[in-house]
Amino acid sequence: MTEFEKRCWAEISPDNLLHNYRTLRRALPEGCRFLGVVKADAYGHGAVQTAGILEKAGADYLAVACLDEALGLRAEGIEMPILILGHTATAYTGALIEHGITQAVAGLAEAERFSAVAQALGRTLRVHMAVDTGMSRLGFLCTGADFETGVTELVRACRLPGLEVEGVFTHFAVSDEEGEENERYTREQYRCFLAVIEAAGTQGIRFPIRHCMNTGALLHYPEFALDMARPGLLLYGYGDEAGKLGLRPCMRVMTRIHTIKHYAPGTTISYGRRFTTARETRMGVLGIGYADGLPRLCSDKCSFAVAGGMAPQRGRICMDMCMVDLTDLPGAERGDEVEIFGPRADLNALSRAAQTIPYELLCAVSKRVPRELKNF
Ligand SMILES: *Cc1c(COP(=O)(O)O)cnc(C)c1O
């Protein structure tokens, strides 16, 4: 091969997504609904394609972060229920109702604003109430001394006209982290969530869909399923424990060896001259850099999969390129494909090198990287 059409690209496997969906679904109790979290362009995988596959496969719900993401799905013909997890300005109540989008409601004042606008329109907005059981982010604060006030406000919000309260949910802070204290905290969050639901129940409030199960809970607290599971990362087959469940990565980021050069020992490589060859070195130049989402922090700390094995990355990662040592991989040639992460090159290892989590690296794959549906 002499000409390369693409510098780098991301392959998205519909088969692996379907496999993961079915595998997770099978692990859930009978009757438990499945919500696929497709915020942030489905963790970089492409929200429209992902939603289309989940809708066809029979998933019950989708979740996004904001109105734009929800409208983007509706515009592409996605008809299944969509929950917006984050804030939406009440000025858009009409758009939410018009497009059949469910809104998370995080407090009494917000509920009153949605209620007022919905009533003025003579319509009803479907909502899920967010309960803060210890994440300390959005939601009716119901921890510790705030329990009574939290429940009182939640119940008042649920009784407002113009709102159809379809669900209630909470979010865990450390369900994905090991250790006794993390387990204690997570179980306390769950206990608090159930206590809130029960206290509201004694005042006649029923929530048809109670949900709290993110990736961490799905892995470590299968008994928390309630009426719906809500995984993101696991659905895409990533995270330290995805392999244990037989899940498969749905994205692999690819590039090619654009050039191979030979350097004498003592040659410095890339910006900053931070890497010096210790031997005769056969160095490949790859068409991917930090503008594509490969963190510069990984410089000299990661390796990528080429024909014959893993090639260590050398020298500072540039905006559009980076270098790999191919000396020990004589089979690797100019034009060959290189996997940056995917089934062969571990995203968890790359995340650790970047001092972050796989979530961030998936979201970081930039717009410049074309997505292709392709089973691998
Ligand atoms: C992002 C998000 C999820 C999904 O989290 P994962 O760890 O990817 O499973 C679930 N619930 C809420 C509220 C979220 O914001």
Q: Residue 5: what pLDDT?
A: 80
* CB of 85 shorter than 6 A to ligand 1: yes
pLDDT digits (tens, 9 = 90+) for 220-231: 999 999 999 999
Is 190 a catalytic site residue?
no
Confidence band for 158, pLDDT divided at 50, 70 and 90: very high
Asked if residue 258 has pLDDT above 60, the reply is yes
Q: How far apart are CA 162 and CA 121, in angstroms?
A: 9
pLDDT at 204 over 90: yes
Asked if residues 361 and 295 have their Cβ atoms less than 8 Å apart, the reply is yes
- The DSSP code for 29 is P
Residue whose entry in the numeric block shows the structure tokens 């330290």: 240
pLDDT in tens, 297-306: 999 999 999 9
State the closest ligand 1 atom to the C-alpha of 215, by its place in the atom list counted from 1: 9
> For residue 320, what are the contacts with CB-CB under 8 A and spacing of at least 6?
7, 287, 288, 289, 291, 292
211 close to ligand 1 (CB < 6 Angstrom): no
193: part of which helix (H) or strand (E)? helix 180-202
State the closest ligand 1 atom to the C-alpha of 230, by its place in the atom list counted from 1. 10
Contact residues for 45 (Cβ-Cβ < 8 A; gap 6+):
12, 17, 236, 250, 251, 362, 371
What the block records as the tokens of 195 is 């206590």
- C-beta of 37 in contact with ligand 1 (< 6 A): yes
Instruction: Tell whether the model's pLDDT for residue 1 goes beyond 50.
Output: no
6, 261, 271, 367: the active-site residue: 271
Q: What type of residue sits at position 346? A: D
CA of 164 to the centre of ligand 1 (A): 23
Query: Does ligand 1 lie within 6 Å of residue 233's CB atom?
Result: yes
Condensed to tens digits (0 to 9), the pLDDT of residues 62-92 reads 999 999 999 999 999 999 999 999 999 999 9
* C-alpha torsion 96→201→60→228, nearest 10: 130
Q: Report whether residue 49 contacts ligand 1, using a CB cutoff of 6 Å.
A: no
* Tens of pLDDT, residues 128-153: 999 999 999 999 999 999 999 999 99
Domains within the chain, CATH numbers bracketed: 31-236 (3.20.20.10), 251-373 (2.40.37.10)
Q: Which pLDDT score is estimated for 3?
A: 64
38 Cα to the center of ligand 1, angstroms: 9
Give the Å distances, CA to CA, from 132 to 187, 242, 350.
Answer: 14, 27, 32
Closest listed residue to residue 172, CA positions, set 120, 238, 125, 224:
224
User: How many C-beta neighbours within 10 Å does residue 311 have?
Assistant: 26
pLDDT at 2 over 80: no
Residue 302 pLDDT: 98
Per the annotation, the verdict on 221 as an active-site residue is: no
